[in-house]
Structure 1
Amino acid sequence: MFNKKSILSLVLLLTCIMAAKAQVKIGFEVSFKEPQAHYAEVQMNISGLAKDYVDVKMPVWTPGSYLVREFEKSVEEFKATAAGKTVKVEKVRKNTWRIFSAKAANIQINYRVYAFEISVRTPFIDESHAFLSPTGIFMHPDGMIKSPSTVKIIPFNTWSKVSTGLTPVAGEQFTYKATDFDILYDSPIEVGNQDIFEFTAAGVRHEVAMYGGGNYDKEKLKVDMAKIVEKETAVYGENPNKYYLFIVHNFLKGGGGLEHLNSTTLGATRNAYNTTEGYKGFLGLVAHEYHHLWNVKRLRPVALGPFDYDNENYTTNLWVAEGFTSYYENKYLHRAGFTDVNEFLKDLAGGVGTVLNTPGAKYQSAASSSYDAWIIGYRPNENSKNNSISYYSKGEVIGILMDLEIIHATKGTKSLDDVMKAMYLQCKTLKRGYTDAEFKAMVEKISGISFTNFWAKYVNGVDDVDYVKYFAYAGVDVATENATPGKPVTGTAVQLANKGLEVTSVTRNSAAWMNGLNVNDIIVEIGGSSLSDVLKNVKLKEPKFSLDILPIITDKKIGDQLTVKVIRDGLEKEFSLSLKENPSVRLKATVNEKATPAQKTVLKKWTGV
């Protein structure tokens, strides 16, 4: 039992500890002496620790991208001084450096980071700009993830701009502050001469930083991006930001995005803005990543924050985090007026078709796919399509079915929107993420019906998706047809190689699968004809393609035999393939003109029509 003296002593001790932590200051300075060689120079200053040694750590992964990327592998020339004197440094774990500071009050750490991987989740530096993905640049003292820090950027002499979601330090150019390292690690920084424009939507100032040029129309983008922001904010009832930044990297062929608390980084194709599909694709990416400021960053699975930056952070709910966001991407494009009902239904039917046409959907559940993101999702192999399913794809389909089930059960008074808003507010109130059971409970509360069977079949199970039943709730008919009616297939993907066509994948239960073709086989002859004859007059758009587009196959019939000669491990082998019907299907969704009043009610709630 504690007496008054014990309590007083404990209070004093805690006060001293808190005061000591409050006195610790951490600051970074990032400069670029050799951007053409892809290096950042990082100086880290720590004052007020006064310990025998200090361990500093670099994250091994970045939130939102579920793969251990070992950012520490790019660190060079790590050294430290304490009280102005060079001190011993020892690497004690793969991502941890120990500085023997001998209780010195001031420590200076210097290191270089090599940055030459173009993506939205990794640092990249060249003579034209620097993209600082912070988990691959900055380090934190062990046990001090909640400590504040400052970052000063010194642009290369031909650069003049810095764009970041971090809070600027008043009166200090290109200097920013973060309340803790979770904030710092969630705030990418673009340095260079980016084209910057802004717009206001939902009461929030939005800035767009464009790198790489492109045929975009700034005024059109301002209007259209604002429409998306308004529609998304309407779902959740509030926008938690006062400022939001879009960093856009325009490349010859770009894509992908990564969400952050008050910013996002987007990869785009610089000359696709003036094409219908290209522009729709960019707006879809905007809608997807912006939705993450609620779904994932605030409405999140309990495992995704606070983060363990040293290890994998496992969750079975990425089908909600990413899959539902993919579904909402299409919903927002439709609600903002960028697609009509027919296009909306086509997009959704395409999503269902993706799942139906992935053999792995029969072998891996959405929950399992989420959990295995760390070992499969970001590093698929040649057999992944046969034994796994993307949580993006399956989650999108689950979102479609769940939305329709809720609308149907409530006779058009509620939808998945109500679930998402309620879960967002619950996470905000409880100041933590949700469990799978809590998410299911909220779906049942909003809908008024049990989702136990639904969860067993579609979330934790691998049952075939009963899309006809669910689309019918809205009076939408779905016709299914073979992707290549009457045409045989081998089920083989290939790429051009020096001495033939290299097999890159074989579809489960296809002719190639059943008759023995292997990945890495080099095809040198098909149907008794040389490859030069087989490929004559064939115009290939890409070096990687399906073998089944070749006339020597499309001209045959289902059930015909086709000989394929290959080189395997230096030896020549010949296989006879029994050509099969294409297992892939195409879906066409159309509104039934004879829909019942109840179906029309569901359709209106679902599509707004």
Structure 2
Amino acid sequence: MKKNARLLYLLTVWTFFVSFRVIAVPVLANEDNPPAPQPAITYVLSMPEPQTHYFEVEMQLKNIASATNAKKNGYVDIKMPVWTPGSYLIREYAKNVEAFVASVDGKPVRSEKIRKNAWRVSSTEDNLTIRYRVYANELTVRTSFVDIDHGYVTPASVFMYLDALKTIPHRVVVQPYKAWNVVTTALEPVTGNANTYEAPDYDLLVDSPIEIGNQRTFSFTASGVPHTVAMFGDVDYNETKLAADYKRVCETAATVVGEHPCKHYTFIVHHIPQGGGGLEHLNSTTLETYRNAYATETNYKGFLTLVAHEYFHLWNVKRIRPIALGPFDYDNENYTHMLWLSEGCTSFYEDYILRRAGFHTPETYLNIVANDITGIENQPGVRVQSAAESSWDAWIKGYRPNENSSNTTISYYSKGSVLGSLLNLAILAGSKGERNMDDLMRLLYNEYYKKLKRGFTDDEFRKAAEQIAGRKLDDFFAIGVNSADPIDYNAYFEPVGLKLTNVAAKTQDGFLGAAITPSGGKSTVSSVRRGSAAYQDGLNVGDEILAVDSVRVGDDLLRLISGRNVGETINVLVNRAGVLRELPITLIQNPLVSYRLEFLPNQTPEQKALFRKWLYIN
């Protein structure tokens, strides 16, 4: 019995050992057992009939079943973003998608739309092909467009994605229309494959617009980094001068943080009949400007201001960012209280960079700062909405203004620009000229982007600002950022020997407070200023003004009112939705201000020295 038991024991142990080896060996990667194929995503983008304004997309998905749990779930969900980073509005890009078809090995498989921006494909296969068309007939920096002249791709509005695979490489093969020869994008080209590009993940794909056509291009090097400029549209320009001035702006912007994070950078510039603006990206930007952007000095400096703004975003917002702004949720709003910093302080830097680059004189820069303050103080909404609230409500208010917006809101761009100027002055004064806003940008860049590899919270930003300023900044944050209360501007300007003065001409002329749109010999009210005579006495948006004191009004309303005194009552006859009404309106004192920065008398040597440091005067 003992011998048989021992033999049985040894046999059991040997069986377990062999079984363990059989189970364990397959999980090891070697020549006999290669690792499982990695998932891959390739988009083939074509535009065979550009005059119809359609892009055609083939999305090739390889080895996706395990990574997406397709075998377990029995389906794969494909999504289209609802917005694009840098433009804080739900844009519903899926509205332009049609002809969504899924197939496996050329055979159609069932798919259905399950949400406004999501399609469910009933497949458990590893390899899947998705085809769809995108209508693209809106040429802005945040939408896509194609016609017989060129194509422009905002990737969030064209390329769909899978949630589980956003972090893998995404490849794009561009098949230009037969008459086009040039593709411009900041995406990395795939060696040996014409018009083929790759992004390390979906976030960078979304952040890399594509221009397709016969656009002219030129290059320059700034801060040791190659830059490409693609120019669409018929426009006259001096390429040598333009390249030199781009370089000057870019190299000055790079001195703020002191490090250029890009291997290369791309400008895509659309010259269009009307409109303008830009949208920042990690390694590129798209700019829209008028065709006469280079025709006059004023227009040209306006364009360089746009260049400076969007270029500085490659640091501020793309790398120096509030924690909410990345990684992105492409299905929903991404809220932050700090767009006044990300956008507004970039607006501050656009002018500060041009001053430091020598495009603005010190006197011009002082006028810009004073005009910025005038602009926000003349908007009634500055006493209603704080900069933090404006940032948070960008999604519902910032991009959806109405006739009452000036009464209830303030732009995080315009107030943020003013706050950037004030914070710069607060740091200069607090550090006795040793530091300025640049030092704060460097701290945020090095600590959060490079070291911690994340964005910062509101509280972390405040602590960083106070660290650089060398003092508490209670008034700046409590009043300037987080409330709609009046700012004591001169508390910021006194250390540099300046005072802010209202130089608006005093007049006895009465003030109505209604904006009028003249058209076809009619004068129609388009907005009414809060607290004005028109507001208090009941003039409404949409009213057609027919007569003032029994005198017929055409498009000459302002002439009829000019010269009327404060306190004088006028009788205004209006057509309101087909009903005639006579409104007695008592004119008030003009509330509009016009600020100018003036030197204080008897400036101290410390004030003079700080002034020179502030404006980079040698």
TM range (shorter): over 0.9
Deviation of 1:590 (Å):
3.2
Equivalent position of 1:62 in the other structure: 84
Structure 1: which 5+ residue stretches go unaligned?
1-8, 536-546
Distance (whole Å) between structure 1 residues aligned to residue 173 and residue 167 of structure 2: 19
> Which 4+ residue blocks in structure 1 deviate beyond 4 angstroms?
9-15
> TM-score by structure 2 length?
0.91
1:225-257 CA-partner distances (Å, limit 9, x unpaired): 111111111111100001101111111223111
Cα distance, 1:274 vs. partner? 2.0
Matched, 1:373 2:373: no
Amino acid at match of 2:46: S
In the aligned structure 1, how far is the partner of 2:76 from the partner of 2:112?
11
Pair 1:161 & 2:182 matched? yes
Structure index of larger Rg: 2
- Give the distance between the partners of 1:253 and 1:272, measured in 2 at CA: 11
Per the alignment, do residues 400 and 12 of structure 1 end up closer, same or farther by CA in structure 2, a change over 3 Å counting? Answer: farther
How big is each residue's C-alpha offset from its partner over 1:290-319, in whole Å with a ceiling of 9 and x where there is no partner?
Answer: 110000000000000000000000000111
**TM-superposed deviation, 1:578:** 1.1
Letter in 1 for 2:565: K
The answer on 1:441 being equivalent to 2:441 is no
Q: Determine helix, strand or coil for the equivalent of 2:455.
A: coil
Cα deviations across residues 266-288 of structure 1 (Å, max 9, x unaligned)?
Answer: 11011131212111110000000
How far the C-alpha of 1:496 sits from its partner, in A, is 3.2
Query: Relative to structure 2, which stretch is displaced further, 205-214 or 479-488?
Result: 479-488
1:468 pairs with 2:483 = no
Match of residue 491, structure 1, among 506, 510, 513: 513
Greater shift, 467-476 or 109-118, is seen at 467-476
Deviation at 1:504, TM superposition (A): 1.4
Q: Distance in 1 between matches of 2:605 and 2:194?
A: 62
Within a 5 Å distance, the mapping from 1:224-373 to structure 2 comes to 224-373=245-394
Alpha carbons of 1:517 and 1:107: their partners in 2 closer, same or farther (altered >3 Å)? Answer: same
**8 Å Cα contact 1:503/1:520 also seen in 2:** yes
Deviates more, 1:49-58 or 1:195-204: 49-58
Paired AA for residue 584 in structure 1: L
Match of 1:583 in 2: 591
Distance 1:284 1:501, change over 3 A: same
* Post-superposition CA distance 1:62-85 (Å, at most 9, x none): 000000000000001111111221
State how far apart, in whole Å, the 2-side matches of 1:140 and 1:348 are.
44
Distance 1:486 1:584 in 2: 13
Which of 434, 450, 453 is the aligned partner of 1:431? 453
For residues 192-221 of structure 1, what are the alpha-carbon distances to aligned partners after superposition, in whole Å with 9 as ceiling and x for unaligned?
Answer: 111101110101111111111223221111
CA distance in 1, matches of 2:172, 2:289: 28
Q: CA deviation at 1:489?
A: 2.2
| DSSP 3-state at the match of 1:350 | helix
> In structure 2, the residue corresponding to 1:138 is in which secondary structure?
coil
For 1:390, the equivalent position in structure 2 comes to 411
**TM-fit CA distance, 1:592:** 4.4
The worse-fitting range, judged by mean Cα deviation, of 188-197 and 550-559 is 550-559
1-structure distance, mates of 2:274, 2:238:
18
Greater shift, 33-42 or 330-339, is seen at: 33-42
In structure 1, distance between residues paired with 2:80 and 2:434: 49
- Please give the alpha-carbon distance, in whole angstroms, between the structure 2 residues aligned to 1:11 and 1:333: 65
Alignment match, 1:48? 63
Q: Which one-letter code corresponds to 1:35 in the other structure?
A: P
Instruction: State the 1:403 CA deviation.
Output: 1.0
Greater Cα offset, 301-310 or 144-153: 144-153
Distance 1:13 1:400 in 2: 60
The match for 1:605 is 613
Give the alignment partner of residue 184 of structure 1, picking from 205, 230, 233.
205
Equivalent in 173, 180, 185 of residue 152 of structure 1: 173
Residue identity opposite 2:430 in structure 1:
A
Deviation of residue 497 (structure 1)?
A: 4.3
Matched letter for residue 517 of structure 1: L
**1:140, 1:181 within 8 Å by CA — same for their partners in 2?**
yes
TM alignment of 1:202-217, pairs within 5 A: 202-217=223-238
In 2, Cα distance between the equivalents of 1:378 and 1:329?
22
How far apart, CA to CA, are the structure 2 residues paired with 1:366 and 1:398?
A: 9
User: In the TM superposition, what whole-angstrom CA distance separates every residue of 1:76-120 from its partner, at most 9, and x where no partner exists?
Assistant: 11111112211111001110011112x222211111101111211
CA shift digits 1:127-181 (9 cap, x unpaired)? 1111100000000113221121110111111211111010001111111001100
The amino acid across from 1:90 in the alignment is E
RMSD after superposition: 2.2
Which residue number corresponds to residue 44 of structure 2? 29
CA pair 243-11 structure 1, distance change in 2 beyond 3 A: farther
| Aligned ranges 1:73-84 → 2 under 5 Å | 73-84=95-106
- Equivalence for 1:544: none
Cα distance in 2 for residues equivalent to 1:495 and 1:116? 29
In structure 1, how many angstroms separate the alpha carbons of the residues matched to 2:567 and 2:377? 23
Query: Cα 1:328–1:485, aligned 2, differ >3 Å: closer, same or farther?
Result: farther
SS in 2 for 1:23: coil
- Looking at structure 1, the residues matched to 501 and 521 of structure 2 have their Cα atoms a distance apart, in angstroms, of 43
Alpha-carbon distance change, 49 to 348 in structure 1, aligned in 2, over 3 angstroms: same
- In structure 1, distance between residues paired with 2:244 and 2:511: 46
> Does structure 2 retain, via aligned residues, the 8 Å contact 1:302–1:432?
yes
Q: Distance in 2 between matches of 1:390 and 1:11?
A: 63
Tell me the CA shift for residue 390 of structure 1: 0.7
Amino acid at match of 2:461: F
Identical aligned residues as a percent: 48
Return the alpha-carbon distance in structure 2 between the equivalents of residues 147 and 137 of structure 1: 18
Deviation at 1:323, TM superposition (A): 0.8
The Cα of 1:469 is off from its aligned counterpart by 2.3
Q: For residues 85 and 225 of structure 2, what CA distance do their matches in structure 1 show?
A: 24
The residue type paired with residue 295 of structure 1 is N
d(CA) in 2 for partners of 1:305, 1:381 = 30
Matched, 1:573 2:581: yes
Please name the residue that 2:158 is paired with: 137
- For 2:210 and 2:506, locate their aligned partners in 1 and report how far apart those are by CA, in whole Å: 47
In the alignment, which of 541, 547, 551 is matched to residue 519 of structure 1? 541
TM-score, normalised via structure 1 length: 0.93
Separation in structure 2 between the aligned mates of residue 506 and residue 12 of structure 1, nearest angstrom = 76
Q: Mind listing any 5+ residue stretches in structure 2 that lack a counterpart?
A: 1-22
Aligned to 2:499: 477
- Say if 2:510 is the partner of 1:502: no
Q: Is the 8 A contact 1:342 1:590 kept in 2?
A: no
- Name the counterpart of 2:5: none
Deviation at 1:560, TM superposition (A): 1.9
Which of 38, 63, 71 is matched with 2:53 structurally? 38
- Describe the SS at the equivalent of 1:216: coil
Cα separation, 2, equivalents of 1:124 and 1:340? 39
Q: Identify which of 562, 565, 585 aligns with 1:557.
A: 565
Identify if the C-alpha distance between structure 1 residues 500 and 149 changes in structure 2 by more than 3 Å, giving closer, same or farther. Answer: same
> Post-superposition shift, 1:586?
0.7
Q: Deviations over 1:437-469 (max 9, x none)?
A: 111101111111111232111111112121222
Tell me the SS of whatever aligns to 1:143. Answer: helix
The one-letter code matched in structure 1 to 2:489 is Y
Alpha-carbon shift at residue 14 of structure 1 (Å)? 13
Which amino acid letter does the alignment assign opposite residue 520 of structure 1? G
Is the contact made by 1:499 and 1:522 (CA closer than 8 Å) also made in structure 2? no
Any idea what SS the aligned residue of 1:425 has? helix
Q: 1:498 to 1:87 in 2, by over 3 A?
A: farther
Q: Give 3-state SS (helix, strand or coil) of 1:473's partner.
A: helix
Paired with 1:554 and 1:291, the residues of 2 have a C-alpha distance of 45
